[in-house]
Amino acid sequence: MKQGSLYEALFQIGALILAGIIVHATYVTVIRPNADLIQEQQNVLQQTDENFVPERSVFIILRDFEQETCIILMLWAIAIIG
């Protein structure tokens, strides 16, 4: 009985660590650099044109730490359930 719960606990910890590494690597290499680039482009366009309305991008919406944490926890929950 204790052997099964030990494996289950190790699986859950491993799944959390793996989800954190994968999501954080994606954020560092893809999401944050693209969000910064899009934000800079929109700032330049907004300074040159008074009527410019900046459009929201998926990268800008997802770039914050709260969204990163939610994605990590979602993947962890899916791993535990599945």
Per-residue pLDDT tens over the stretch 39-52: 999 999 999 998 98
In-domain check, residue 64: yes
Please give the Cα distance from 41 to 39 (Å, whole number).
5
pTM of the model: 0.85
pLDDT bracket for residue 1 (50, 70, 90): low
Q: List the domain range (segments joined by +) for residue 72.
A: 25-81
In-domain check, residue 34: yes
In-domain check, residue 72: yes
Mean pLDDT, residues 44-71: 94
**Under DSSP, is residue 2 helix (H, G, I), strand (E, B) or coil?**
helix
Q: Could you give the number of structural domains in the chain?
A: 1
In-domain check, residue 32: yes
52 Cβ contact partners less than 8 Å away, ≥ 6 residues apart: 42, 45, 46
